[in-house]
Amino acid sequence: MIRRQRLAAGVCALLAALTAGLAFPSTAVADETQQAAPKVELVLDVSGSMRARDIDGDSRMAAAKQAFNEVLDATPKEVQLGIRTLGANYRGNDRKAGCKDTEQLYPVGPLNRTEAKTAVATLAPTGWTPIGPALLKAADDLNGGDGTRRIVLISDGEDTCQPLDPCEVAREIAAKGIGLTIDTLGLVPDAKTRDQLSCIADATGGTYTDVRHKEELSDRVGQLVDRAADPVVTPVATEGAAECTKAPSLKSGLYTDREEFGRQRWYKVDVKPGQELRASVSVADDRAVNPDYGVLLRAVTMHGREIVRGEAAGNGRTDVISTGLRYPKPGSDDDTATAETVCLQVTNSFSAAAGVKTTPGLPLELTVDVVDGPSKASDVASFGLGRGWWLLGALILSGFLAGLVWGWLSRWRVAVWRTN
Amino acid sequence: MRITRVLGAALLALGLAAGPAAADSSPSPSASDDGKAPSRAGTSFRTATEIEQGQQATASGSTGDYLYWSFPADAGQRPTVKATVKLPRTHGAQTWQIDVYDGLRRRQSCQYGSATRTAGQGAASVELACVLRTVRAWSEPWANDPLPGTYYIRLTVVDLGAADLGLPVSAEVRADSEDIGGAAAVDGSLAKPLVPGIAVKSEAEQDGAKSAVLSSIEPDDGWSSGWWTDRWVWTAVGGLLAALAGIGGYALTRGSGRPSRVPPNV
């Protein structure tokens, strides 16, 4: 009887869940992206040092040209590829002029292989290494469109146009544009070049590669271009507030924001009774930070009561620290029950040494999913069922005892009946 | 006559009792190597390459890259993640690590396995492993128990000399799982597996539009509905045995033949 009731309850719950699913489809428009064309710009250093003949006996320039030819042949159709050079034209010694020397060799757009190859063939190692300005221009080249944007920077020396730190330029670019990544490749780099290029890559969530052989270069650039062609969700930029009442209201989707050291960000999500809120947050360290860090995500009611929290801490080298939480809001029998506004608070405990720039803030990625709530567990065990030899033993013993008692009872009754 | 019947019942009981034991040792899901295993890795949660359980995914990258993969794990499974990193010919000592995150990007602890390992100077490769806790169908919202859904693997070097940064490495990653079965079956279940972006995905499906999703992961045979567990077999067999034992007990009290006190010719 009890089992039947439970089954009936289960069927009812199933039906309820189904109708709820049909009646309240989660209203999410946050990342409704049709696949826009991914854009890639290859930024090639054509400074004088590219003449050095130390890549498999060939000059760095020759290796780069060969790699470009191979990459251009293998570029996927959907990728819009552009090429920009730095230090290709100005031969003089004037630093000011040399640091403006960056040129778009091939515009970002549908690729014409022959044209692009011809353009690459004309290059000859010439001038300065203005990485910072070239990155700024490259970011402009990639403007517009919703697709992923990627800059592949190939250089053999550090920036010669201080004080504009290319690393900070990269961070500014990442803070401006959504989903722009800079991958860097160092051709036979020295320690300083490596530091600078890896710093640029870290600032935008890109990768750094050390190239010493020809095939490494073409393989890696090809891989990076392919990676750009992978469809990914483009996050929506949002700006969290310093308190819940002013916080932006979010729906299901993927969002990005920036959070400075030691600050909090608040967001709001509406959760109807019987729905479950799932939120996860990742805070990336795009600059040099101290080795101990953490992130805290709290779901708080409008009145300031904490519902649930997710926390994570770590130490050592990392790209992001992330955590998440779920909050199933209990269902309500009252049809007029309104959605509850849940405040999400994100704080981080990253810290940086003195002298590290604190603006723009650290990149923050927030995913929000509002789905149907889970079915409640009424027992630890599945449906209250048991398993194991102890269960069998107990059942057999109780069955046996029941049989004995029943037998004795009936014998006694027969005996009583006989004597009467 | 009666003795043979009791014996027969006992034998039957024994045979039935062996039933649950057989159900207990259900085999782990067979590895399917038919599909083409991915030969690349993502570089963030957002771009993680999706792999299936039993697939040997490979990727080439540079020392210092953060390589991400994701795989589905269902209730009752205990996933094991293994990774092998082939290091460049010359390098200094470096420490590699795998971290596993669940669909809410919460880090999941490893029960066993060395998830962090240091490769000595010049070592050819380093092997890492992480055995996760058993995935449950349901847990309190305040717990971080593993739940059915997407699991992210992050492979990276956590400690290295500056000169090793950016050198080419190749990695192999594989996620398998052992089926724990009814021992891990719990009551309650999630309405939707813990797959990021699933709310957006279901919306897009209704629109008929095909768009990129955070995670489109699903096991080969779909997510388990959660109602089947070998506890049904155990409990049913237990009930049956109890009934047989009841009959046995009843039979014992009856003795054989007619009661002695009853006079003949009644």
Q: What is the ipTM of this complex?
A: 0.85
Distance separating alpha carbons of residues A194 and B101, to the nearest angstrom? 30
Best CA proximity match to A364, nearest among A205, A232, A242, A148: A205
pLDDT band for A17, please (50, 70, 90 cuts): very low
CB of A324 within 8 Å of any CB in chain B? Answer: yes
Within a domain: B61:
yes
Beta bridge partners of A295: A312, A348
Q: From the CB of residue A220, how many other CB atoms can be counted at a distance below 10 Å?
A: 25
Together in a domain, B183 and B211: yes
Report CA B50 to chain centroid distance, whole Å.
Answer: 17
Domain span at residue B16?
Answer: 2-21+232-250
List the beta strands (DSSP E) in B63-167. 67-73, 77-86, 94-101, 107-108, 110-112, 116-119, 125-132, 149-159
- Clarify whether residues A192 and A208 are in a common domain: yes
B79, B52 Cβ separation under 8 angstroms: no
Q: Which of B91, B151, B200 to mutate to test the interface with A (most CBs of A within 10 A)?
A: B200
- B84 belongs to a structural domain: yes
Same domain, yes or no: B190 and B61: yes
My answer on whether A210 and A254 are in the same domain is no
Give the single-character DSSP code of A239: -
Query: Based on the structure, what is the number of domains in chain B?
Result: 2
| Residue of A208, A320, A325 lying closest to B62 (CB–CB) | A208
Strand stretches in A37-141, DSSP E: 39-45, 80-86, 102-109
| In a shared domain, residues A287 and A213 | no
CB distance from A401 to chain B under 8 Å? yes
A295-313 pLDDT, tens digit each: 999 999 999 999 999 999 9
**Are A383 and B254 in contact (CB < 8 Å)?**
no
Token readout for A361 is 């803030």
| Touching B: A residues 111-150, CB under 8 Å | none
Domain C-terminal end among A174, A203, A229: A229
pLDDT at A35: 61
pLDDT tens sequence for chain B (266 residues): 444 444 444 444 444 444 444 443 333 333 444 467 898 899 999 999 999 999 999 999 999 999 999 999 999 999 999 999 999 999 999 999 999 999 999 999 999 999 999 999 989 999 999 999 999 999 999 999 999 999 999 999 999 988 899 999 999 999 999 999 888 888 888 999 999 988 887 776 666 555 678 888 888 888 887 788 889 999 999 999 999 999 999 999 887 655 566 666 65
Q: Chain B contact for A403, CB < 8 A?
A: yes
**Residue A71, domain member (yes or no):** yes
Q: Do residues B238 and B222 share a domain?
A: no
Q: Is residue B261 part of a domain?
A: no
- In this prediction, residue A21 carries a pLDDT of 39
- Tokens 């729906």 map to which residue? A251
Q: Does residue B234 belong to the interface with chain A, where contact is any CB pair within 8 Å?
A: yes
Q: Is B127 within 8 Å of B82 (Cβ atoms)?
A: yes
Asked if B160 and B174 sit in the same domain, the reply is yes
Average pLDDT taken over every residue of chain A: 86
Nearest CB to B106: which of A227, A252, A310? A310
Q: Both B76 and B189 in a single domain?
A: yes
Backbone angles phi, psi at A10, to 5 degrees: -60, -45
Domain match, A108 and A189 both: yes
pLDDT in tens, A367-407: 999 999 998 888 888 888 999 999 999 999 999 999 999 99
Query: Which chain A residue shows the shortest CA-CA distance from B158?
Result: A317
* Same structural domain, B177 and B244: no
Radius of gyration (Cα) for chain A, nearest Å?
32
Measured between beta carbons, the chain B residues lying within 8 angstroms of A205 are 43-44
Window 82-141 of B, Cβ < 8 Å to A: 101-107, 137-138, 141
The DSSP secondary-structure symbol of B255 reads -
Residues in A touching B146 (Cβ below 8 Å): none
The pLDDT of residue A1 is 40
Instruction: List all residues 6 or more positions away from B222 whose beta carbon is below 8 Å from its beta carbon.
Output: none
Establish if A407 belongs to a structural domain.
no
Best of B39, B250, B252, B260 to substitute, by most chain A Cβ atoms within 10 angstroms, is B250
**Is residue B256, in this structure, part of any structural domain at all?**
no
Q: How large is the average pLDDT for residues A242-269?
A: 93
B242 plus B119 within the same structural domain: no
Q: Among residues B30, B29, B66, which one has the least CA distance to residue B49?
A: B66
Record the tokens describing residue A52, joined without a space.
Answer: 């050095």
* Chain B residues close to A391, C-beta within 8 Å: 234-235, 238
Per-residue tokens: A402: 């029941």
pLDDT given for residue A7 in this prediction: 47
Residue in B with minimal Cα distance to A377:
B188
pLDDT of residue A161 exceeding 90, the answer is: no
Choose the closest CB to A28 out of B61, B203, B209.
B203
By the 8 A CB rule, do A34 and B209 touch?
yes
pLDDT at residue B78 in the model: 95
- DSSP for B239-252 reads HHHHHHHHHHHHHH
Distance CA B185, CA A204 (A): 43
Residue B189: which of A230, A375, A405 has the nearest Cβ? A375
- Reported as a single tens digit per residue, the pLDDT across A40-57 is 999 999 988 888 888 888
Measure Cα distances from B188 to A24, B84, B103, B151, B224 in Å. Answer: 22, 37, 19, 21, 13
Q: Which of residues 184-213 of B touch A (CB under 8 A)?
A: 185-192, 194, 196-200, 202-204, 206, 209, 211-213
Q: Is the pLDDT of residue A166 over 80?
A: yes
Q: Are residues B114 and B223 in the same domain?
A: yes
Asked whether the beta carbons of A266 and A274 are under 8 A apart, the reply is no
Chain B residues within 8 A of A196 when measuring between CB atoms: none
Which pLDDT score is estimated for B1?
42
Please state, in angstroms and rounded to a whole number, the distance separating the CA atoms of residues A307 and A220: 47
The A residues from 183 to 212 touching B (CB cutoff 8 Å) are 186, 189, 191, 194-195, 197-198, 205-210
* Residue A419 belongs to some domain of the structure: no
Residue B214 inside a domain? The answer is yes
Whether A223 and A202 share a structural domain: yes
Do B6 and B40 lie in one domain? The reply is: no
Q: Within this chain, do residues A169 and A261 fall inside the same structural domain, yes or no? A: no
Element (H, E) at A192: helix A191-204
Check pLDDT > 60 for residue A154: yes
- Is the domain of A219 the same as that of A264? no
Shortest Cα–Cα distance, A375 to chain B (Å): 5
pLDDT value of residue A94: 78
Task: Indicate the number of domains in chain A.
Answer: 2
Which of A191, A282, A396 comes nearest B162 by C-beta?
A: A191
**B110 and B67 in one domain?**
yes
Distance between B22 CA and the closest CA of chain A, angstroms = 12
* CA–CA gap between residue A123 and residue A50 (Å, rounded): 11
B135 with B63: CB under 8 angstroms? Answer: no
Asked if residue B196 belongs to a domain, the reply is yes
Q: What is the pLDDT of residues A70-123, one digit of tens each?
A: 889 888 888 899 999 988 888 777 777 878 888 888 899 888 888 999 988 888
| Residues of chain A with C-beta less than 8 angstroms from the C-beta of B106 | 280, 310, 312, 322-324
Beta partners for residue A264, in sequence order: A347
Q: Please name the residue of chain B whose CA is at the shortest distance from the CA of residue A221.
A: B61
Angle between helices B2-24 and A389-419 (to 10 degrees): 160
Residues A274 and A205 in one domain: no
Give me the mean pLDDT over the A247-251 stretch: 94
- The CATH number given to whatever domain includes residue A344 is 2.60.120.380
Residue B266 belongs to some domain of the structure: no
Domain boundary residue, one of A229, A248, A273: A229
Look at residue A418 in the predicted model and tell me its pLDDT.
86
Q: Given an 8 Å threshold on Cβ–Cβ distance, is B166 in contact with A276?
A: no
In contact, B57 and B204? CB cutoff 8 Å: no
A286, part of any domain: yes
Interface membership of B249 toward A (CB under 8 Å): yes
Q: Is residue A31 pLDDT above 60, yes or no?
A: no
For residue B239, give the chain A residue with the closest CA: A395
Please tell me which residue, B119 or A23, carries the higher pLDDT value: B119
Helix, strand, or coil (residue A45):
strand
> Same structural domain for residues A217 and A316?
no
Q: Is residue B145 part of a domain?
A: yes
Let me know whether B239 and B192 are in one domain.
no
- For residue B9, with 0-12 CB atoms within 10 Å meaning exposed, 13-18 middle and 19 or more buried, which class applies? middle
| Pair (B60, B182) in one structural domain | yes
Give the model confidence (pLDDT) of A326-379 as tens digits.
Answer: 999 998 887 778 899 999 999 999 999 888 888 888 999 999 999 999 988 888
Are residues A366 and A281 part of one domain? yes
Whether residues A121 and A214 fall in one domain? yes
Confirm if A150 and A40 have CB atoms less than 8 A apart: yes
Chain B residues in contact with A254 (beta carbon < 8 A): 46, 197, 200, 214
> Are A163 and A298 found together in one domain?
no
For residue A108, the enclosing domain spans 39-229
Instruction: Give yes or no for A304 touching B (CB within 8 A).
Output: no
Q: Are B169 and B88 in contact (CB under 8 A)?
A: yes
- State the CATH number of the domain containing residue A90: 3.40.50.410
Q: Hey, are the CB atoms on A375 and B138 less than 8 Å from each other?
A: yes
A365 touches chain B (CB under 8 A): yes
- Are A373 and A328 contacting, i.e. CB atoms less than 8 angstroms apart? yes
pLDDT band at A28; cut points 50, 70, 90: very low
Number of residues that this document lists for chain A: 420
Q: Is B2 on the interface with A (CB under 8 A)?
A: no
